[in-house]
């Protein structure tokens, strides 16, 4: 890394939403554009991915659209996911990411599912099938611990007026559950996803080496003021106070190895954002490394880009990408340019007026704003 160029390995995004159908076909080829070669794919499709076969079918669709990207798949925690289902995956010969402390090489083509994602019911997009209580899943977690699957937590408690729980404290109120799960399953790898609060950073730091935390790009930049009336900055969990953002920045600047990139990039059609009831999600996939370099530099942590975006996540998960015969790198140059206004895609469908093609678009984070870094040699 010199003052005006950065050369790092391709990045890993340990939390991404790739959607389905036309949206998926637009999004997936853009993963590489952002400098990313490995993604950890969320299962909140319609219907949610609750069985290994579904995950493998989805994975095949994704690989067809981006053959050079490594897709790590997850299952949606629900009553359909039994200890038997977890073991079946194992008996099928799927390599695990068991926490034996060793970094092991896994060929992603042989990996079915790396983890299980838990959503509290109703807190975010397509979370209607989410869980209401963890204890009923303890047999599943025990099997996951034995088999080496990672538990990915959307760490929010549903809002509750009586208990003074709302979107601003839903994450903090969740943290005792994280601590309890870790105490009960100390060898289960747990990732608190998309942390937004100082309380979450402090909690994860206080727990053992089997507990990690993803941080998004946008939560390193936004506070509550930024989503007040700004639909494209509205996501769940919502961005919080300045001191919360500061805590996220500090743990990245510190280079803490259990805090790594998971963008939670969550594209929605523009018409479902710029409306009376906006969908929750920020879209960052096409510009992951340019955004991150710009933001990390703004708070003096550009030297942490490689660890945060390329190394810590893979080390925690114990995964490596399959050998492509060479070490792949991304080169960024300091070059001021403007984030695209929209990314278009085409929905083919039938309506009352007949068969037709509708053009939709997704507005990216920081649309039409200047950004300081550009990828000049990519994936």
Residues that bind a copy of itself (CB under 8 A): 159-162, 164-169, 223-225, 227-232, 234, 238, 241-243, 273-280, 363
Nearer Cβ to a copy of itself, position 278 or 372? 278
Q: Closest distance between a copy of itself and the C-beta of residue 308, in Å?
A: 22
Q: Closest distance between a copy of itself and the C-beta of residue 312, in Å?
A: 27
Nearer Cβ to a copy of itself, position 135 or 164? 164
Q: Closest distance between a copy of itself and the C-beta of residue 165, in Å?
A: 7
Q: Closest distance between a copy of itself and the C-beta of residue 64, in Å?
A: 34
Q: Closest distance between a copy of itself and the C-beta of residue 152, in Å?
A: 23
Nearer Cβ to a copy of itself, position 79 or 122? 122
Torsions phi, psi of 249, nearest 5? -65, -40
Task: For residue 120, give both structure tokens.
Answer: 């509290």
Task: For residue 114, give both structure tokens.
Answer: 């790396």
- Cβ–Cβ < 8 Å for 189, 150: yes
E strand or H helix at 343, and its extent? strand 343-351
- Cβ–Cβ < 8 Å for 234, 227: yes
Nearer Cβ to a copy of itself, position 146 or 226? 226
Q: Closest distance between a copy of itself and the C-beta of residue 361, in Å?
A: 12
Give the span between the Cα atoms of 256 and 263, in whole angstroms.
17
- Cβ–Cβ < 8 Å for 375, 291: no
Task: For residue 278, give both structure tokens.
Answer: 């906006």
Nearer Cβ to a copy of itself, position 62 or 339? 339
SS3 292: helix
Q: Closest distance between a copy of itself and the C-beta of residue 363, in Å?
A: 7
Q: Which residues pair with 370 in a beta bridge?
A: 338
SS3 252: helix
Nearer Cβ to a copy of itself, position 161 or 352? 161
- Cβ–Cβ < 8 Å for 371, 291: yes
- Cβ–Cβ < 8 Å for 42, 50: no
Classify residue 320 as exposed, middle or buried by CB count within 10 Å of its CB (0-12, 13-18, 19+): middle
Q: Closest distance between a copy of itself and the C-beta of residue 299, in Å?
A: 11
Q: Which residues pair with 41 in a beta bridge?
A: 16, 73
Give the span between the Cα atoms of 167 and 227, in whole angstroms.
12
∠ Cα 252 279 153 (to 5°): 45
Nearer Cβ to a copy of itself, position 6 or 157? 157
Nearer Cβ to a copy of itself, position 56 or 253? 253
Give the span between the Cα atoms of 157 and 163, in whole angstroms.
11
């Amino acid at each position: 890394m010199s003052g005006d160029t950065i050369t790092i390995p391709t990045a890993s995004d340990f939390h991404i939403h790739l959607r389905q159908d036309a949206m998926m076909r637009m999004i997936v080829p853009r993963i590489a554009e952002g400098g990313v070669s490995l993604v950890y794919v969320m299962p909140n499709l319609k219907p949610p991915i609750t069985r290994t076969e579904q995950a493998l079918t989805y994975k095949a669709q994704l690989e067809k659209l981006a053959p050079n990207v490594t897709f790590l798949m997850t299952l949606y925690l629900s009553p359909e996911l039994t200890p038997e289902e977890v073991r079946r995956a194992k008996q099928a010969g799927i390599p695990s990411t068991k926490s034996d402390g060793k970094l092991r090489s896994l060929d992603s083509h042989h990996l079915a599912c790396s983890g299980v994602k838990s959503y509290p019911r109703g807190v975010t997009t397509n979370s209607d099938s989410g869980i209401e209580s963890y204890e009923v899943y303890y047999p599943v977690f025990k099997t996951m611990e034995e088999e080496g699957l990672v538990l990915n937590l959307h760490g929010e408690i549903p809002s509750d007026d009586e208990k003074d729980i709302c979107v601003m404290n839903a994450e903090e109120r969740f943290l005792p559950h994280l601590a309890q799960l870790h105490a009960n399953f100390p060898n289960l790898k747990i990732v608190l996803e998309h942390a937004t609060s100082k309380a979450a950073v402090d909690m994860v730091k206080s727990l053992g080496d089997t507990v990690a935390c993803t941080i998004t790009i946008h939560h390193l930049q936004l506070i509550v003021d930024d989503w007040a009336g700004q639909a494209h900055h509205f996501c769940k969990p919502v961005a919080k106070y300045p001191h919360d953002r500061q805590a996220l920045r500090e743990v990245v600047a510190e280079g803490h190895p259990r805090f790594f990139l998971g963008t939670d990039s969550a594209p929605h059609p523009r018409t479902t954002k710029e409306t009376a009831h906006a969908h929750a999600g920020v879209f960052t996939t096409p510009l992951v490394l340019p955004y991150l370099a710009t933001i990390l530099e703004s708070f003096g942590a550009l030297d942490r880009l490689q660890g945060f975006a390329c190394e810590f996540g893979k080390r925690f998960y114990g995964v490596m990408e399959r050998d492509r015969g060479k070490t792949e790198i991304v080169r960024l140059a300091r070059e001021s340019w403007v984030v695209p206004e929209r990314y278009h895609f085409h929905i083919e469908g039938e309506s009352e007026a007949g068969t037709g093609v509708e053009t939709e678009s997704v507005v990216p984070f920081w649309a039409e704003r200047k950004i300081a870094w550009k990828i000049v040699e990519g994936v």
